[in-house]
Amino acid sequence: MSDATKVSVALGARSYAIHCGASFAALPATLAPLVRGRRCAVITNTTVQPLYGAPVQAALIAAGATPHLLVMPDGEQHKTMATAERVLEQMAAAALDRGSLVVALGGGVVGDIAGFVAGVFMRGIEFVQIPTTLLAMVDSSVGGKTGVNLAAGKNLVGVFHQPRCVYINWSTLQTLPAREFWAGYAEVIKYGMIADADLFARLERETPALLRAITAAAPTIPNVVGSIIECCCAIKARVVAADERENGLRAILNYGHTFGHAIEQLTGYGTYAHGEAVARGMHAAALLACELGLCPQALVQRQRALLEAAGLPVRFPALEPDQVMAAFQHDKKTSAGSVRFVLPRAIGQVELVNDPPVAALRAALRAAQA
């Protein structure tokens, strides 16, 4: 896959391209029409900055921009209003204005914070996403959902704010810890489950070889990863184009997340990687679907086998069921007290179920914790 590969997100005047490739070579030319003559806040974290801060700043300068580097701490526990406020103060101190632009360089936390501050600074300025983790590449960098966490729940404060473009250099995955790669892979498996049975079957074939390559003494990122990322982005682009603000179809992207967000909230953000919580949530969601008669046991086992082949956890933590049930009420997808779950009917097909019977929910939780 070359740097010229593009996936379009069709949103009328807010349309943009996802550029997929294996280097930063095309970054200056890609960004020049967006950033030339503008001041840019490059928001990154303490892990990513030493790795990719310099080449991205150099690309921005080559594109005619004036970059200002803003470095935040690494980790989900820093995705807070306090962090957002510090970044906003730094943006003001750097004399950014309504004509300035934000560049998000990092994983999902950086992208969410950067997109959020871009959406509220001066009542909204433009931004671009340069994701450096698998999870951000296939999921959080695309679609314009931004947010920060509250003690009451995950992503409860945020805005819809679409990027002007997304630039994916999947060679950055070479420096990603294996645990974070596989956490992102949970979201890849999610796309197969919700929308693409062929992708799911492909992952069943490819995952063992990927696991060997990434866990080898000298780890490598096979080229197949690039085409898998492109496939996931194409699925998300179609869903977002059909339902930008999650009034219907886009909710399917939350498969595994209602359970997963409860895990993150109750165990403390950072105990589990987001994808690890989602993997557990996907297994619990499949068990709930089976309990409700929506899908066969064979689907539960097939999904579990793929998650485990990727080294992902499936057992739900030993949390008090009443606390889990209460956490569902704080999920941002809950409306008027009605809790919505995305549940599978078949590989590649899911449906939205509101307020499943409490007895079925508790049975699924017991099975997921067993």
Catalytic residue, candidates 38, 257, 333, 340:
257
Residue for token pair 């959020």: 116
- Inter-residue contact 220 to 213 (CB < 8 Å): yes
Q: Tell me, yes or no, if 39 is annotated catalytic.
A: no
**Are 262 and 328 contacting, i.e. CB atoms less than 8 angstroms apart?**
yes
Regarding beta strands 126-131 and 101-106, do their DSSP bridges make them parallel or antiparallel, or are they unpaired? parallel
Q: Which of 261, 280, 332, 333 is catalytic?
A: 261
Q: How far is CA 344 from CA 5, 111, 157, 252, 307, in A?
A: 31, 29, 28, 10, 15
- Rg of the chain (C-alpha set): 20
The catalytic residue among 274, 280, 283, 332 is 274
Annotated catalytic residue, options 230, 246, 264, 276 = 246
Quote the CA–CA distance of 191 and 282 in Å, as a whole number.
Answer: 11
Strand positions, DSSP E, 3-65: 5-9, 16-21, 39-45
Active-site option among 78, 250, 333, 340: 250
What is the rounded distance in angstroms from the CA atom of residue 364 to the CA atom of residue 308?
A: 19
Catalytic residue flag (residue 161): no
The residue whose two tokens read 């992503």 is 155
- Any catalytic annotation for residue 257? yes
Of these residues, 68, 145, 161, 332, which one is catalytic?
A: 145
Instruction: Note if 145 is an active site residue.
Output: yes
320 among known catalytic residues: no
Q: Which of 78, 236, 280, 332 is catalytic?
A: 236
Q: Is 187 a catalytic residue?
A: yes
Active site residue 68: no
The reply to whether 190 belongs to the active site is no
Catalytic residue among 76, 180, 187, 291: 187
Indicate left, alpha or beta for 73 from its phi (over 0: left) and psi (-120 to 50: alpha): beta
Of the residues 254, 264, 276, 333, only one is catalytic, namely: 254
How many CB atoms sit inside 10 A of residue 107's CB? 29
The catalytic residue positions are 123, 145, 187, 236, 246, 250, 254, 257, 261, 274
